[in-house]
Amino acid sequence: MPRWGYSVKFRDESNIAKAMMWDVPVHPKVMREVAAAIKGMRLAEAKAFLERVIEKREAVPFRRAHGKQAHRRGLADKWGWPIGRYPVKAARYMLKLLNNVEANAESKGLEIERLKIIHVAAHKGITLKRWMPRAYGRASPKNRVHSHVEVIVREE
> What would the pLDDT profile of 114-152 be if each residue is shown by its tens digit?
999 999 999 999 999 999 999 999 999 999 999 999 999
Does residue 9 form part of some domain?
no
Amino acid occupying residue 32: R
Does residue 6 form part of some domain?
no
pLDDT confidence tier of residue 18, bands split at 50, 70 and 90: very high
Does residue 55 form part of some domain?
yes
**Mean pLDDT score, 96-118:** 97
Task: Give the domain range for residue 146.
Answer: 16-155
CATH number assigned to the domain comprising residue 85: 3.90.470.10
> In the predicted model, is pLDDT for residue 2 greater than 80?
no
pLDDT at 1: 62
Smallest CA-to-CA distance from 85 within 41, 29, 129 is with 29
- Picking from 1-5, 46-50, 101-105, which range would have the lowest pLDDT averaged per residue? 1-5
User: How far, in Å, CA of 113 to CA of 82, rounded?
Assistant: 31
DSSP conformational letter for 70: P
Q: How many domains does the chain have?
A: 1
Does residue 10 form part of some domain?
no
pLDDT at 3: 78
Alpha carbon distance, N-terminus to C-terminus of the chain: 37
Smallest CA-to-CA distance from 123 within 2, 7, 18 is with 7
Does residue 7 form part of some domain?
no
At residue 113, φ and ψ (nearest 5 deg) are -70, -20
Does residue 3 form part of some domain?
no
Q: How far is CA 22 from CA 39, 65, 77, 82, 94, in A?
A: 19, 22, 34, 31, 12
**pLDDT tens column, 56-100:** 999 999 999 888 999 999 899 999 999 999 999 999 999 999 999
Does residue 5 form part of some domain?
no
pLDDT at 117: 98
pLDDT confidence tier of residue 5, bands split at 50, 70 and 90: confident
Does residue 79 form part of some domain?
yes
